[in-house]
Amino acid sequence: MKPVTLKQIAEQLNISVATVSKALKDYPDVSIKTKTKVKDLAKSLNYKPNSFAVHLRTKESKTIGLIVPEIVHHFFSNIIKGIVNEAEKKGYLVIILQSNESYELEKKQIDLLLSQRVDGILISLANNTSDYEHLNQVIALNKPLVMFDKIAKMVSCSKVIIDDRKAAYDATQHLIDIGCKRIAHFRGALLPLNSIDRFLGYRKALLDNNLPFDSSLVYMSEFGDMSFEAGQISAKKLIEDHKDVDGIFVNTDLVAIGALTELKRLGVMVPEDIKIIGFSNWFMSSVISPSLTTIDQPGYLMGETAFNQLYKEIIAIKNKEETAPQTITLETKLIKRESTEIFSKN
């Protein structure tokens, strides 16, 4: 069945197409009686506005694109919720795409979103993204682009982040404050900026406290992934290589939970033998035994903030106003739990 048109409604009611269009949009110069007739008939015929025609007329699609490395990850799922909820308030639909940490797929997804004429794009970069031509193309087309979490400093667009270096410093400092002297770090892949900054924060905390930095205490999974299995593998290697380690700062909670599980299997007691701290405050962090001390990373707020910044830029472009890229830094906090409790061995 072909879609119902404004012309068909107009012919049935013996009025002009312009009057039908105005009635459906509640223009004040159309009588309430006519509006009621038009809306009732449109409803009975299951009339749907032609979104493509609306886009051509208004130069708005009322859709935005969202690219994340993973959809099922706790942190990113919270970000998605924040974005979708804010977008709905403003009447926007969100096209959600998962890059699977692939630069090549990320590039294709940017092209797809541009071909769909989205009004703006939100993105957290894949781990191996090192060339930014596809992102600069978005900016060259005068399309708003906002990065969050995993960003590229070299791309001139707005960004919503946390201070990863400070958060990692605070995490490591907490381990030092409770007496840890040999602290390992399970880091993320070499390339993402947040992974680099967390490593640098860890190292600076050691040096500021006159503790030697030992590169052999820094572990990264073979494929640079942040998985439960990566935590298990790194924990096993750590215990084989360094029996004197008394603390571990882990780049993300999922890896930390994998490490906790493996340490328990190996008979290493947490926090009695080794204290461990994660990053992101995933739900499982509070229910695992022992519960995991972690850095609370505000995913939902990051999603809300990223969308609202994108929306501001969409409106500014629509109104032909000048905009300058903004970097918005959200606060983090240390959540103390059982995995770093001070335990007396007496």
- Digit-coded pLDDT (tens) for 50-93: 655 555 555 678 999 999 998 877 889 999 999 999 999 999 99
CATH architecture of the domain with residue range 164-297+334-340:
3-Layer(aba) Sandwich (3.40)
Q: What is the pLDDT of residue 57?
A: 56
State the pLDDT confidence band at 299, using cuts at 50, 70 and 90.
very high
- C-alpha dist (Å) from residue 14 to 10, 17, 34: 6, 9, 11
Q: What is the pLDDT of residue 45?
A: 86
Which residues partner with 66 through β-bridges? 96, 122
Backbone angles phi, psi at 131, to 5 degrees: -110, 135
Question: Which residues are CB-contacts of 325 (< 8 A; sequence separation ≥ 6)?
Answer: 156, 157, 158, 159
Cα of first residue to Cα of last residue in the chain, in angstroms, is 81
Distance CA 20, CA 14 (A): 10
Query: What is the DSSP-derived secondary structure letter of residue 262?
Result: H
Distance CA 175, CA 182 (A): 10
Q: What is the pLDDT of residue 71?
A: 85
Structure tokens of 299?
């995913």
Asked if residue 143 lies in contact with residue 316, where contact means CB atoms within 8 angstroms, the answer is: no
What is the per-residue pLDDT across 165-216, written as a single tens digit (0 to 9) for each?
999 999 999 999 999 999 999 998 877 889 999 999 999 999 999 999 999 9
What is the per-residue pLDDT across 214-273, written as a single tens digit (0 to 9) for each?
999 999 876 667 789 999 999 999 999 998 999 999 999 999 999 999 999 999 999 999
Buried residues in 261-272 as b, exposed as e (16+ CB within 10 A): ebbeeeebebbe
- What's the whole-number mean pLDDT along residues 99-119? 94
Q: Is the pLDDT of residue 101 over 60?
A: yes
State the pLDDT confidence band at 21, using cuts at 50, 70 and 90.
confident
Q: Kindly report which listed range (44-53, 147-156, 257-266) carries the lowest average pLDDT score.
A: 44-53
What is the per-residue pLDDT across 105-114, written as a single tens digit (0 to 9) for each?
999 999 999 9
**Of 46, 57, 65, 56, the residue nearest 8 (C-alpha):** 46
Transcribe 177-229 into DSSP letters: HTT--SEEEE---SS-HHHHHHHHHHHHHHHHTTPPP-GGGEE--TT----HH
Give the chain's mean pLDDT: 92
Which residues partner with 63 through β-bridges? 93
- Top-level CATH class of 59-162+299-332? alpha beta
State the pLDDT confidence band at 306, using cuts at 50, 70 and 90.
very high
Find the length of the chain. 346
Angle at CA 76, nearest 5°, toward 121 and 139?
15
Distance CA 327, CA 160 (A): 6
Q: What is the pLDDT of residue 5?
A: 86
Domain with CATH 3.40.50.2300 in the chain: 59-162+299-332, 164-297+334-340
Buried residues in 133-154 as b, exposed as e (16+ CB within 10 A): ebbbebbeeebbbbbbbbbbee
